[in-house]
Amino acid sequence: MSADLPDDSNTVRPPVPGRATRLGVLMIASEAAPWAKTGGLADVLSGLPEALDALGHHVVVVLPKYRGITLPPVDSVARVVTVGSSSFDVTFRIASLPRTRRVVFVDCPPLFDRDGFYTVGGRDHPDNDRRFALLSAAALDLAQHELADRIDVVHAHDWQAGLAPTWLRTDPRRWARLSNAGLVFTIHNLLYQGMFPRASVPALGLSWDVFSMDTGEFWNQFSFLKAGVAYSDFVTTVSPRYALETQQPAFGVGMDGVLRARSDRYIGILNGIDTHVWDPATDPLLPANFSAADLSGKQVCKRVLLERFQLPMGDDAMRRPVVALVARLVDQKGIDLVIDASAELLDLDATWLFLGTGEPRYEQALRALAASHPSRVGVSIGFDERLAHLMEAGADIFLMPSRFEPCGLNQMYSLRYGTVPVVHAVGGLDDTIQPYTSRARYANGFKFREPTKDALVRTVGQALRLYPDRETWHRLMLQGMAQDHSWENSAREYVKVYRRARQAAADR
C-alpha cells in the first residue's frame, strides 16, 4: 500500500460477487502482540486475526504506535485526522503480513510517543479521552480514504475503541463507506470502562445524544465502554460464563443493567491460545520436549524447574508434586487467598513455585514464605517468558484462584502441557475446567466455587491426595492434552457473530 492509492471517500461499494463467504474486518484496539502488550487483549489481537486470515477472511488491525515499538517493514500514508475542533498529523505505518492480513500503526507522536500506554507513575494520562478518540477516528479515516478493501465488519475492542461504533452510528456521513458495516464490540475486562468528565463529549466533537442514560452517560460521566456497548450491533466478551456473570451485580461493576438490556445480542466466545507458541512437542524454551505419546520430557522439565529455583532435586523432591502459580500479584488473581491459606497449604506434601509481579505487599509476603521454607517454596518476582513456559511444562499442578477471570489463558496452556489446573470456578476458568470426581468421564482438573481459603485448601488437598494414583492422574493429564483450545474454533464463532452483525446493519 502506498500514498497514491485512489480516494474512495465517496464510494459505497456494493457486495462483490463471489465474496459471500469472505469478510473484510477492520479491528481497532489499543494493543496487539508482539508490538504492544500489557495483558490478554494483545494476545487476542494476534491470535484472532491470524485465525480469521487462515479461514479466508481479510483483516486489518489498527493500533497506536507507542514509544519503543519496533516496526516491521511498512508502507506509510500521511493524513490529517480531526477530533472535535482539533486536527492531528497522523502517519499510518502499514505492515502486510502473510496471506491477506495487515497491521496498521497510528503514528501520532504528541499523543502516543510517551512513557506508558495508559498511565505514567501510576496515574492515567490526563488526555486519554483524546488519545483514544483519535485512535478510533484514525482507523475509520483509514478505511474511508486509504483502504481498497471492502469492510464488512468493524470490530472494536475494549473502551479504548468504544468511539468507533459510536461515531459510525452518530456521524455516518463522515465515513460513508462504512455505513453498511456490521458493528461488533468486545469487552475483555469490564473493570476498565473508560470514564471521562462530561466535558469530553463536546471536546471530542460528539453530539449530546451520546450522553444519555441509554447511550454513554454513566453517573454523570461519559463512558467509552458503555457507548461502545450501546451503539454496536452485537457485543461479545471472552467466555460464555463471563457473559452471564457480568449481567449480575456481583461481577457487573455497575454495568450489569446495561448488559442485561443487550442480553439478546451479548455473546460469550472463549478466547483461544496460540498452539504454535504453546506446544510442548516443539516449544524451543523447554530443556526437553514431550507429547501425550511420550511424557518423559516432562520429568526433565520438572528437574530443571526445581534447579532453576535452587530447590532440592532428589528422588523425594521429584516424587513430590510441584504446584505452580504464574500471575499478576493483585487481588483479582486471588493471591490474597493463597497467602491467607499459606500455613494450611504448606502443611500439604507439595513444592510451591510462584512467578509474578504486582502489589508490593504480596511480593513481600511471597518472599517471606520462601525465606521461611527454603526447601519447599520458590519465588521469582518479575516476569520471565522462558520461566513461564518452564513452569507450565515442569509443574504437576497449576493454581489459578482468581476472584474473577474473564477468560484466562494459563489454564489452557496448562492443559496442553499436561499440568492439571486447580481453579476458582469463574469466567473462562469455569468454562474450560471439568472437575474430577470418581464418576467423571472427561475431567481435566479441579475447581472450587467459593473464594475462601477453606475452599482453596480443600480443593488443593483433593488434587494432592489423587496425585499418587498414577493411573488416574495420567488419565487427567491426557484428557487435558487432548482438548483443542486453538484460535480456529473461536474464530469460527466470531464469524457467526460478524454475519449476524452485517444482517443487523442491513436491517437498521
Report the pLDDT value the prediction gives residue 6, as an integer from 0 to 100: 32
Q: Per-residue pLDDT averaged across 202-221, rounded?
A: 97
CB 206 within 8 A of CB 242: no
Gap between the Cα atoms of 422 and 348, Å rounded: 15
Gap between the Cα atoms of 307 and 129, Å rounded: 48
Phi, psi of 182 (to 5 degrees): -75, 145
Report the pLDDT value the prediction gives residue 39, as an integer from 0 to 100: 84
- Is residue 115's pLDDT more than 50? yes
| Residues facing 196 on adjacent strands | 222
Report the pLDDT value the prediction gives residue 98, as an integer from 0 to 100: 81
| Band of pLDDT at residue 8, cut at 50, 70 and 90 | very low
Among residues 87, 126, 122, the alpha carbon closest in space to that of 108 is found at 87
Among residues 58, 65, 76, the alpha carbon closest in space to that of 31 is found at 65
Q: Per-residue pLDDT averaged across 304-326, rounded?
A: 96
- Is residue 103's pLDDT more than 70? yes
Residue type, 369: L
> How confident is the model over 34-61, as pLDDT tens digits?
999 988 899 999 999 999 999 999 999 9
Helix (H, G, I), strand (E, B) or coil at 422: strand
Q: Per-residue pLDDT averaged across 331-357, rounded?
A: 97
Report the pLDDT value the prediction gives residue 194, as an integer from 0 to 100: 98
| Band of pLDDT at residue 480, cut at 50, 70 and 90 | very high
Alpha helices (H) along 208-254: 224-231, 240-245, 249-252
- Is residue 481's pLDDT more than 80? yes
Q: Per-residue pLDDT averaged across 199-210, rounded?
A: 97
Alpha carbon 131 to chain centroid distance? 21
Q: Per-residue pLDDT averaged across 268-291, rounded?
A: 96
Query: In the 8-state DSSP scheme, what is residue 436?
Result: P
Residue 358: CA count within 13 A, CB half-sphere:
20
Residue type, 442: Y
The two beta strands, 123-124 and 119-120, are antiparallel
Residue 452 has a CB neighbour count (10 Å cut-off) of: 14
Q: Tell me which of 141-150, 168-177, 356-365 is least confident.
A: 141-150
- Is residue 5's pLDDT more than 90? no
| Band of pLDDT at residue 441, cut at 50, 70 and 90 | confident
CA angle 60, 64, 70 (to 5 degrees): 95
Report the pLDDT value the prediction gives residue 372, as an integer from 0 to 100: 97
Choose the most confident range, by mean pLDDT, from 2-6, 40-44, 204-208, 435-439.
Answer: 204-208
Q: Per-residue pLDDT averaged across 211-234, rounded?
A: 98
pTM of the predicted model as reported, rounded to 2 decimal places: 0.91
Gap between the Cα atoms of 221 and 172, Å rounded: 24
| Band of pLDDT at residue 15, cut at 50, 70 and 90 | very low
Report the pLDDT value the prediction gives residue 18, as an integer from 0 to 100: 39
In what order do the strands lie in the sheet containing 182-187? 75-83, 86-96, 102-107, 58-64, 24-28, 153-157, 182-187, 234-237, 266-268
**DSSP track, 267-314:** EE----B-TTTS-TTT-TTSSS--BTTB-HHHHHHHHHHHHHTT---S
| Band of pLDDT at residue 363, cut at 50, 70 and 90 | very high
Report the pLDDT value the prediction gives residue 68, as an integer from 0 to 100: 94
- Is residue 12's pLDDT more than 50? no
Contacts of 206 (CB under 8 A, 6+ apart): 84, 163, 166, 167, 170, 200
| Band of pLDDT at residue 255, cut at 50, 70 and 90 | very high
Q: Is the peptide bond before 34 cis (omega within 30 degrees of 0)?
A: yes
Helix (H, G, I), strand (E, B) or coil at 97: coil
Average pLDDT, the chain: 94
Q: What CA–CA distances, in Å, run from 368 to 307, 347, 361? A: 20, 16, 11
Helix (H, G, I), strand (E, B) or coil at 501: helix
> How confident is the model over 376-407, as pLDDT tens digits?
999 999 989 999 999 999 999 999 999 999 99
Q: What CA–CA distances, in Å, run from 213 to 161, 220, 261? A: 20, 9, 12
Question: What are the structural domains, with CATH classification, of the chain?
Answer: 24-272+488-507 (3.40.50.2000), 296-484 (3.40.50.2000)
- Is residue 16's pLDDT more than 70? no
Gap between the Cα atoms of 297 and 15, Å rounded: 53
% residues pLDDT > 70 (the chain): 96
CB 163 within 8 A of CB 204: yes
For 246, the grid coordinates are 457480568
Largest CA distance in the chain: 74
